[in-house]
Structure 1
Amino acid sequence: MASLPGSPDNGPSSIHTGLIKEVYDIPMDALIRPFPPEVNEAKVQSLMDTLEDPSMCSLVPPIDVLWIKGRLDGDYYYSFGGCHRYTAHKRLGRKTIKVKLVSSTINDLKIYLGSSTPDLK
Protein backbone atom coordinates (compact mmCIF):
# COMPACT_ATOMS: atom_id res chain seq x y z
CA MET A 1 0.00 0.00 0.00
CA ALA A 2 1.10 3.54 -0.65
CA SER A 3 1.71 5.67 2.39
CA LEU A 4 -0.87 8.41 2.87
CA PRO A 5 -0.82 11.10 5.54
CA GLY A 6 -3.50 10.52 8.13
CA SER A 7 -4.69 11.64 11.50
CA PRO A 8 -6.47 9.83 14.31
CA ASP A 9 -10.24 9.97 14.35
CA ASN A 10 -12.39 9.51 17.39
CA GLY A 11 -15.71 10.11 15.63
CA PRO A 12 -18.46 7.71 14.58
CA SER A 13 -17.62 4.90 12.22
CA SER A 14 -19.25 2.04 10.38
CA ILE A 15 -19.04 -1.66 11.06
CA HIS A 16 -16.41 -1.85 8.31
CA THR A 17 -14.13 0.82 9.72
CA GLY A 18 -14.78 0.64 13.46
CA LEU A 19 -11.21 -0.45 14.16
CA ILE A 20 -9.60 1.83 11.56
CA LYS A 21 -8.30 5.00 13.17
CA GLU A 22 -6.52 6.70 10.27
CA VAL A 23 -8.47 9.33 8.34
CA TYR A 24 -7.25 10.62 4.98
CA ASP A 25 -8.10 13.53 2.74
CA ILE A 26 -8.69 11.98 -0.69
CA PRO A 27 -9.21 14.11 -3.82
CA MET A 28 -12.86 14.04 -4.83
CA ASP A 29 -11.88 13.23 -8.42
CA ALA A 30 -9.96 10.12 -7.28
CA LEU A 31 -13.12 8.48 -5.92
CA ILE A 32 -14.94 6.00 -8.11
CA ARG A 33 -18.67 5.90 -7.39
CA PRO A 34 -20.16 3.22 -9.62
CA PHE A 35 -23.79 3.83 -8.58
CA PRO A 36 -25.67 7.13 -8.81
CA PRO A 37 -26.59 8.46 -5.37
CA GLU A 38 -30.18 8.76 -4.18
CA VAL A 39 -30.25 11.58 -1.68
CA ASN A 40 -32.61 13.42 0.60
CA GLU A 41 -32.17 17.09 -0.30
CA ALA A 42 -32.81 18.30 3.25
CA LYS A 43 -30.08 15.99 4.57
CA VAL A 44 -27.62 17.18 1.91
CA GLN A 45 -28.38 20.83 2.76
CA SER A 46 -27.93 20.15 6.47
CA LEU A 47 -24.54 18.56 5.79
CA MET A 48 -23.55 21.49 3.57
CA ASP A 49 -24.45 23.92 6.37
CA THR A 50 -22.39 21.87 8.84
CA LEU A 51 -19.41 21.64 6.49
CA GLU A 52 -19.42 25.40 5.93
CA ASP A 53 -19.30 26.11 9.69
CA PRO A 54 -15.65 25.88 10.84
CA SER A 55 -16.72 25.07 14.39
CA MET A 56 -18.97 22.19 13.24
CA CYS A 57 -17.33 20.66 10.13
CA SER A 58 -15.30 18.17 12.18
CA LEU A 59 -18.59 16.54 13.26
CA VAL A 60 -19.14 15.12 9.77
CA PRO A 61 -17.73 11.58 9.82
CA PRO A 62 -15.45 10.31 7.05
CA ILE A 63 -16.84 8.05 4.36
CA ASP A 64 -15.69 4.44 3.93
CA VAL A 65 -13.65 3.77 0.80
CA LEU A 66 -12.41 0.46 -0.58
CA TRP A 67 -8.73 0.85 -1.46
CA ILE A 68 -7.76 -1.63 -4.14
CA LYS A 69 -4.37 -2.20 -5.73
CA GLY A 70 -4.59 -3.01 -9.42
CA ARG A 71 -2.55 -5.77 -11.04
CA LEU A 72 0.11 -3.20 -12.06
CA ASP A 73 0.02 -1.48 -8.64
CA GLY A 74 -2.46 1.27 -9.54
CA ASP A 75 -4.45 2.69 -6.63
CA TYR A 76 -8.26 2.63 -6.93
CA TYR A 77 -10.63 4.18 -4.44
CA TYR A 78 -14.21 2.86 -4.58
CA SER A 79 -16.96 4.51 -2.59
CA PHE A 80 -20.37 2.88 -2.26
CA GLY A 81 -21.81 4.65 0.77
CA GLY A 82 -21.74 8.15 2.20
CA CYS A 83 -23.95 9.47 -0.61
CA HIS A 84 -25.18 12.49 1.35
CA ARG A 85 -21.71 13.45 2.56
CA TYR A 86 -20.22 12.96 -0.92
CA THR A 87 -22.98 15.02 -2.55
CA ALA A 88 -22.59 17.82 0.02
CA HIS A 89 -18.83 18.00 -0.61
CA LYS A 90 -19.38 17.96 -4.38
CA ARG A 91 -21.97 20.74 -4.30
CA LEU A 92 -19.70 22.87 -2.13
CA GLY A 93 -16.91 22.41 -4.68
CA ARG A 94 -14.61 20.75 -2.15
CA LYS A 95 -11.44 19.33 -3.65
CA THR A 96 -11.03 16.61 -0.99
CA ILE A 97 -13.16 14.51 1.33
CA LYS A 98 -12.24 12.75 4.57
CA VAL A 99 -12.24 8.96 4.24
CA LYS A 100 -11.37 5.79 6.10
CA LEU A 101 -9.61 3.39 3.78
CA VAL A 102 -10.58 -0.27 3.82
CA SER A 103 -7.79 -2.31 2.25
CA SER A 104 -9.58 -4.54 -0.27
CA THR A 105 -9.00 -6.76 -3.28
CA ILE A 106 -10.43 -7.06 -6.75
CA ASN A 107 -12.33 -10.12 -5.49
CA ASP A 108 -13.95 -7.92 -2.82
CA LEU A 109 -14.94 -5.46 -5.53
CA LYS A 110 -16.55 -8.27 -7.53
CA ILE A 111 -18.99 -8.77 -4.65
CA TYR A 112 -20.34 -5.30 -5.35
CA LEU A 113 -19.97 -5.10 -9.14
CA GLY A 114 -20.16 -8.71 -10.34
CA SER A 115 -19.33 -9.10 -14.02
CA SER A 116 -19.17 -5.29 -14.36
CA THR A 117 -15.88 -5.25 -12.43
CA PRO A 118 -13.29 -3.48 -14.58
CA ASP A 119 -9.72 -4.62 -15.23
CA LEU A 120 -7.81 -2.60 -12.66
CA LYS A 121 -4.23 -1.91 -13.69
Structure 2
Amino acid sequence: MANFVLQFPKTLRTFPISASSNGGASVSGSQSGGNGGPVIVELPLDKIRRPLMRTRANDPHKVKELMDSIQEIGLQVPIDVLEVDGVYYGFSGCHRYEAHQRLGLPKIRCKVRRGTKETLRHHLR
Protein backbone atom coordinates (compact mmCIF):
# COMPACT_ATOMS: atom_id res chain seq x y z
CA MET A 1 0.00 0.00 0.00
CA ALA A 2 1.34 3.45 -0.93
CA ASN A 3 1.59 6.34 1.51
CA PHE A 4 0.67 9.85 0.41
CA VAL A 5 1.33 13.22 2.00
CA LEU A 6 -1.48 15.71 1.63
CA GLN A 7 -0.46 19.36 1.89
CA PHE A 8 -2.82 22.31 2.12
CA PRO A 9 -1.99 25.92 1.26
CA LYS A 10 -1.56 28.30 4.18
CA THR A 11 -4.33 30.53 2.83
CA LEU A 12 -7.44 29.26 1.14
CA ARG A 13 -9.25 31.12 -1.61
CA THR A 14 -13.00 31.33 -1.96
CA PHE A 15 -14.98 32.28 -5.04
CA PRO A 16 -18.71 32.75 -5.51
CA ILE A 17 -19.84 30.31 -8.22
CA SER A 18 -22.98 30.22 -10.34
CA ALA A 19 -24.17 27.64 -12.86
CA SER A 20 -24.18 28.32 -16.59
CA SER A 21 -26.34 27.07 -19.45
CA ASN A 22 -23.55 24.95 -20.94
CA GLY A 23 -22.72 23.03 -17.77
CA GLY A 24 -19.81 25.25 -16.81
CA ALA A 25 -19.41 27.51 -13.85
CA SER A 26 -18.96 31.23 -13.61
CA VAL A 27 -16.53 32.54 -11.02
CA SER A 28 -16.99 36.05 -9.73
CA GLY A 29 -14.49 38.25 -7.97
CA SER A 30 -10.74 38.06 -8.19
CA GLN A 31 -8.12 35.70 -6.95
CA SER A 32 -6.89 36.51 -3.48
CA GLY A 33 -3.41 35.84 -2.28
CA GLY A 34 -1.75 38.03 -4.91
CA ASN A 35 0.33 35.27 -6.50
CA GLY A 36 -0.87 36.07 -10.03
CA GLY A 37 -1.65 32.46 -10.89
CA PRO A 38 -4.36 31.39 -13.31
CA VAL A 39 -8.03 31.85 -12.46
CA ILE A 40 -10.92 29.91 -13.99
CA VAL A 41 -13.64 32.28 -15.24
CA GLU A 42 -16.42 32.24 -17.79
CA LEU A 43 -15.93 34.87 -20.51
CA PRO A 44 -18.13 36.01 -23.39
CA LEU A 45 -16.84 34.58 -26.68
CA ASP A 46 -16.90 38.02 -28.28
CA LYS A 47 -14.46 39.35 -25.64
CA ILE A 48 -11.74 36.84 -26.57
CA ARG A 49 -9.39 37.81 -29.40
CA ARG A 50 -8.08 34.93 -31.48
CA PRO A 51 -4.83 36.27 -32.99
CA LEU A 52 -3.85 32.89 -34.46
CA MET A 53 -7.26 32.19 -36.01
CA ARG A 54 -6.14 32.91 -39.59
CA THR A 55 -3.12 30.60 -39.42
CA ARG A 56 -4.83 27.44 -38.22
CA ALA A 57 -7.68 25.34 -39.60
CA ASN A 58 -9.85 23.31 -37.25
CA ASP A 59 -10.73 19.67 -37.91
CA PRO A 60 -14.52 19.71 -38.61
CA HIS A 61 -14.93 16.16 -37.25
CA LYS A 62 -13.25 17.10 -33.95
CA VAL A 63 -15.40 20.25 -33.67
CA LYS A 64 -18.57 18.15 -34.21
CA GLU A 65 -17.48 15.63 -31.56
CA LEU A 66 -16.83 18.47 -29.11
CA MET A 67 -20.21 20.02 -29.89
CA ASP A 68 -21.92 16.71 -29.05
CA SER A 69 -19.89 16.33 -25.86
CA ILE A 70 -20.50 19.92 -24.72
CA GLN A 71 -24.24 19.50 -25.28
CA GLU A 72 -24.26 16.26 -23.31
CA ILE A 73 -21.89 16.90 -20.39
CA GLY A 74 -20.65 20.49 -20.75
CA LEU A 75 -17.13 21.77 -21.34
CA GLN A 76 -14.66 19.63 -19.40
CA VAL A 77 -11.41 21.52 -20.01
CA PRO A 78 -11.31 25.34 -20.06
CA ILE A 79 -9.43 27.13 -22.83
CA ASP A 80 -6.24 29.05 -22.00
CA VAL A 81 -6.50 32.83 -22.20
CA LEU A 82 -3.91 35.55 -21.65
CA GLU A 83 -5.20 38.85 -20.21
CA VAL A 84 -3.12 41.90 -21.11
CA ASP A 85 -4.33 45.33 -19.98
CA GLY A 86 -7.94 44.15 -19.75
CA VAL A 87 -7.97 42.49 -23.19
CA TYR A 88 -8.29 38.69 -23.46
CA TYR A 89 -6.28 36.71 -26.02
CA GLY A 90 -7.01 33.02 -26.66
CA PHE A 91 -4.10 30.84 -27.79
CA SER A 92 -5.38 27.33 -27.16
CA GLY A 93 -8.70 25.58 -27.33
CA CYS A 94 -9.43 26.47 -30.96
CA HIS A 95 -11.73 23.47 -31.45
CA ARG A 96 -13.53 24.06 -28.13
CA TYR A 97 -13.95 27.75 -29.00
CA GLU A 98 -15.40 26.96 -32.43
CA ALA A 99 -17.71 24.31 -30.93
CA HIS A 100 -19.11 26.94 -28.55
CA GLN A 101 -19.56 29.38 -31.45
CA ARG A 102 -21.39 26.83 -33.59
CA LEU A 103 -23.63 25.86 -30.66
CA GLY A 104 -24.52 29.53 -30.20
CA LEU A 105 -23.23 29.58 -26.60
CA PRO A 106 -22.41 33.12 -25.51
CA LYS A 107 -19.71 32.23 -22.95
CA ILE A 108 -16.86 29.77 -22.49
CA ARG A 109 -14.93 28.65 -19.43
CA CYS A 110 -11.35 29.95 -19.49
CA LYS A 111 -8.15 29.54 -17.51
CA VAL A 112 -6.97 33.15 -17.45
CA ARG A 113 -3.38 34.20 -16.79
CA ARG A 114 -2.27 37.80 -16.63
CA GLY A 115 0.52 38.86 -18.90
CA THR A 116 2.39 41.85 -20.23
CA LYS A 117 2.64 43.21 -23.76
CA GLU A 118 6.04 41.49 -23.95
CA THR A 119 4.39 38.15 -23.08
CA LEU A 120 1.82 38.77 -25.81
CA ARG A 121 4.53 39.55 -28.39
CA HIS A 122 6.27 36.29 -27.43
CA HIS A 123 3.04 34.31 -28.10
CA LEU A 124 2.57 35.98 -31.49
CA ARG A 125 5.97 34.91 -32.84
Please state if 1:31 is matched with 2:48: yes
Write the distance in 2 (CA, Å) between the matches of 1:111 and 1:61: 24
Identity of aligned residues (%): 36
Of 80, 92, 95, the match for 2:103: 92
Structure whose alpha-carbon radius of gyration is higher: 2
Cα deviations across residues 70-105 of structure 1 (Å, max 9, x unaligned)? xxxxx1000011110001001011100000101111
Aligned length: 91
1:23, CA displacement in angstroms?
A: 1.6
Q: Please report the TM-score for the alignment, with normalisation by the length of structure 1.
A: 0.68
Q: Please report the TM-score for the alignment, with normalisation by the length of structure 2.
A: 0.66
Q: Mind listing any 5+ residue stretches in structure 2 that lack a counterpart?
A: 1-15, 17-25, 29-36
Please state if 1:64 is matched with 2:85: no
The amino acid that maps onto 1:34 is P
| Cα RMSD, aligned residues only | 2.1
Of 100, 105, 117, the match for 2:116: 105
Partner residue in 1 for 2:20: none
